[in-house]
Amino acid sequence: MAVFLLLSLLYCSYLPAQDNDSLTRIYSKFDFIPGEKVIFFDDFSADNIGDFPALWNTNNSGEVVTFPKYPGKWFKITNSRSIVTLLNPLTLPENYTIEFDVVPQKYPPSNTSTNYHFLLISTPKPKDLLYGLALPGGTGIRFSFEYNTYYRAYYADKSPELKGNSMDPSIRQKENEKYHVAIWVQKQRIRLYLNETKILDLAKAISDQFKYNMIRFENGTPLIGNVRIATGLPDMRNKLITEGKLVSYGIYFDVNSDKLKPQSAGTLKEIAGILADNPELKIRIIGHTDADGNDAANLDLSKRRAASVKNALVAAYSIDAARIETDGKGEKEPVAPNDNGTNKALNRRVEFIKL
């Protein structure tokens, strides 16, 4: 288990030069890298306000809402007794990542608790929300975001359960504040991040005897946004050095903005390491968008995003700016139809081309 202090939200392309060393040290603590292939994405933009989201299922209630403090649409779980899962079962390999934004909310009867649970489960009946009630008797891991973050890994084959919690008060989630939760599974190992803090690192929590196929929210009424699941373990060095092209889904921006999100840190660190280890390597960074919005605006945005990535590599890691070119293609070169949230997420990408 590793517990670090909660990090500030920093955008490297806007930092003065004297902050470069401290930024590099901050980035060195955040090692999360999302999977290389997005298999599910939902920001609820395709759902109507007041409706239950089309790609989800529940035994109770929920609706898509807006929230004044944060832009976009959010999935509000409206009853703390609700079980909420994806409508269709997952097929998860050995290596994958799960991410979502969350805004904790208090709920009746006490209106003092913002607790909620997130579960990753292996179940023979993934469309039956009440089968086995997940605990006990099944296989999975539950993260309880309560006063402290608590975990419980349990196994149908009667293997010993794992239990524990993180006592660091800096990671306690507060009502009406937005957090980014990231989960990284590599075979039996699972890591949990809150914003840029690695909360848990468990070497043997995932069973290699079962296939995990359900994610689940329960015991709370949070707002959920930007759910993203990706598979595979990115081999960035080989793709860039040997194949000459790296397609990255691990660089994040604010909506309609060129400002880098802090969750980009792990990917930026890896790319900077490749450039540092290969001083003769020169690259071109190319931004891509989905087809939503105006063509000209998307083209401009993609160019500015590529420039922001270059600025980050130069400012935080002292990569020579002369080694990096930038460009943007906007929506002109999609890799998937722009017909649903997952395919649009595939089109929103940053490419690194070896020159």
> Computed over its alpha carbons, how large is the radius of gyration of the chain?
20
CA dihedral 183, 242, 354, 319 (to 10 degrees): 60
Q: What percent of the chain has pLDDT over 90?
A: 71
Query: 243: buried, middle or exposed (CB in 10 Å: 19+, 13-18, 0-12)?
Result: exposed
* Mean pLDDT, rounded, of the chain: 87
Q: Looking at residue 135, what is its pLDDT?
A: 60
Contacts of 266 (CB under 8 A, 6+ apart): 30, 31, 32, 33, 250
pLDDT value of position 277? 95
* Residue-wise DSSP of 191-208: EEEETTEEEEEETT-S-T
Res. 6: pLDDT tops 80: no
pLDDT for 12 equals: 35
pLDDT at 260 over 70: yes
State residue 70's pLDDT score: 95
Q: What is the pLDDT of residues 38-91, one digit of tens each?
A: 999 999 999 999 999 999 999 999 999 999 999 999 999 999 989 999 999 898
What phi and psi, each to the nearest 5 degrees, are found at residue 338?
-90, 55
Statement: residue 313 has pLDDT above 60:
yes
Mean pLDDT throughout 241-255? 92
Phi, psi for residue 133 in degrees, rounded to 5:
50, 25
Dihedral in degrees, nearest 10, Cα atoms 201, 205, 208, 209: -170
pLDDT tens-digit map of 187-217: 999 999 998 888 999 999 999 999 999 999 9
pLDDT higher than 80, residue 319: yes
**Could you read off the pLDDT of 7-27 as tens digits, one per residue?**
332 333 333 333 344 344 445
* Both tokens assigned to 53: 């989201």
Q: What is the pLDDT of residue 167?
A: 66
SS3 220: coil
Average pLDDT over residues 101-117: 87
Contact criterion met (CB below 8 Å) for 321 and 314: yes
Q: Is the pLDDT of residue 287 over 50?
A: yes
pTM (2 decimals)? 0.87
- CA-angle at 217, arms to 215 and 219, nearest 5°: 150
Report the greatest alpha carbon distance in the chain.
63
Give yes or no for a contact between 163 and 155, defined as CB atoms under 8 angstroms apart. Answer: no
pLDDT confidence of residue 10: 32
**Contact assessment for residue 316 and residue 20, using Cβ atoms and an 8 Å cutoff:** yes
Tokens in use for 337?
């139809």
Q: Give the number of other CB atoms < 10 A from CB of residue 56.
A: 21
Q: For residue 302, is pLDDT > 80?
A: yes
pLDDT in the model for residue 85: 95
Whole-number Cα distances in Å, 199 to 6, 68, 169:
10, 29, 11
pLDDT of residue 67: 96
Flag whether pLDDT at 181 surpasses 50. Answer: yes
Can you state the angle between helices 20-28 and 265-277, rounded to 10 degrees? Answer: 110
Query: DSSP string covering 37-76, please?
Result: EEEEEE-STTSPTTSPPTTEEESS-EEEEEETTEEEEEEE
What pLDDT does residue 133 have? 61
Domains and CATH numbers, the chain: 12-30+234-354 (3.30.1330.60), 37-231 (2.60.120.560)
Q: What is the pLDDT, as a whole number, of residue 149?
A: 86
Q: What is the mean pLDDT of residues 247-259?
A: 90
The pLDDT of 128-136, averaged and rounded, is 68
| pLDDT above 60: residue 185 | yes
pLDDT at 315 > cutoff 80: yes
Q: Fill in the amino acid letter for 145.
A: F
pLDDT score recorded for residue 27? 52
The half-sphere exposure of 135 on its side-chain side, counting CA atoms within 13 A, is 16
